[in-house]
């Protein structure tokens, strides 16, 4: 009897902090992984090719979530997609910097996943999409019914949170209307050792604190998460 086909998944933004650990985990679990990168030849992505089982099971695709056509080859043939590619910038004050790319990128990956008949799409949202609601009762647990207040976030110049709220709502609405199996995850700031050679955003928070910098970002007040705990949830969302 022929062995079952190797499960194949796509990870967008594969060179990022969380995504790199996810790629490593998926490879260790026997998955063939398609990782999208803006520039696979960039030295900052070289760590991916050195992961265990990468030579035979990791395939790098030059793609941009803002360009639908570049995503199609990466998602084709995959039974699952992890959408992690999104702008994450400290002190974001311009809508065009983060909101527009996040929304368009999410729509593109939703449409590509539908066209490729993906079995499940995991969208990495953020606790920022649910935690900033000044009108939510303090003694009531925040659950799936709680969303951050967009106007409150806009007034505070927090376009990252606005982007995460909007993108997650679009993903869930698209799933309901088109029958796509979508799971959203809302992690807080994630810390841990780095696989990539560049410092990621959450680690920059620690650097800013050590230097005594003031961070005007609502995210800083949130709970923090160790990277292994987050990838445990990622794995069980496949």
Domains in the chain: boundaries: 8-235
Output phi, psi for 192, to 5 deg: 155, 180
Q: Catalytic residue among 62, 164, 177, 211, which?
A: 164
pLDDT in tens, 13-43: 999 888 999 999 999 999 999 999 999 999 9
Is residue 11 a contact partner of residue 34, using CB atoms and an 8 Å limit?
A: yes
Q: Is 164 a catalytic residue?
A: yes
The Cα 233–Cα 106 span in angstroms is: 20
pLDDT in tens, 46-104: 999 999 999 999 999 999 999 999 999 999 999 999 999 876 555 555 566 778 788 99
- Answer positive or negative: Cα dihedral of 101, 80, 33, 127: positive
Query: 132 falls in which pLDDT band (50, 70, 90)?
Result: confident
Task: Please state whether beta strands 58-62 and 32-37 pair in parallel, antiparallel, or not at all (unpaired).
Answer: parallel
| Closest by Cα among 104, 130, 133 to 188 | 130
Write down the CATH number for the domain with range 8-235: 3.40.50.720
Query: 170 falls in which pLDDT band (50, 70, 90)?
Result: very high
């Amino acid at each position: 009897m022929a062995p079952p086909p190797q499960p194949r998944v796509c990870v967008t933004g594969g060179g990022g902090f969380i995504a790199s650990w996810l790629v490593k985990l998926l490879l260790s679990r026997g998955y063939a992984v398609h990782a999208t990168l803006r520039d696979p030849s960039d030295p900052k992505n070289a760590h991916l090719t050195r992961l265990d089982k990468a030579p035979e099971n990791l395939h790098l695709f030059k793609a941009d979530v803002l360009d639908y056509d570049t995503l199609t080859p990466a998602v084709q043939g995959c039974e699952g997609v992890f959408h992690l590619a999104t702008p994450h910038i400290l002190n974001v004050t311009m809508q065009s910097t983060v909101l527009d790319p996040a929304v368009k990128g999410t729509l593109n990956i939703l449409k590509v996943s539908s066209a490729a008949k993906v079995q499940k799409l995991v969208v990495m949202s953020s606790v920022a999409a649910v935690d900033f609601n000044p009108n939510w009762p303090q003694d009531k647990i925040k659950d799936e019914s709680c969303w951050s207040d967009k106007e409150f976030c806009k007034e505070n110049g927090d376009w990252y949170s606005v982007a995460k709220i909007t993108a997650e709502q679009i993903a869930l609405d698209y799933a309901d209307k088109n029958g796509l199996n979508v799971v959203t995850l809302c992690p807080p700031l994630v810390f841990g050792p780095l696989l990539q050679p560049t410092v990621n955003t959450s680690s920059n928070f620690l650097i800013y604190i050590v230097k005594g910098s003031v961070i005007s970002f609502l995210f800083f007040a949130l709970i923090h998460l160790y990277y292994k705990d987050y990838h445990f949830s990622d794995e069980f969302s496949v």
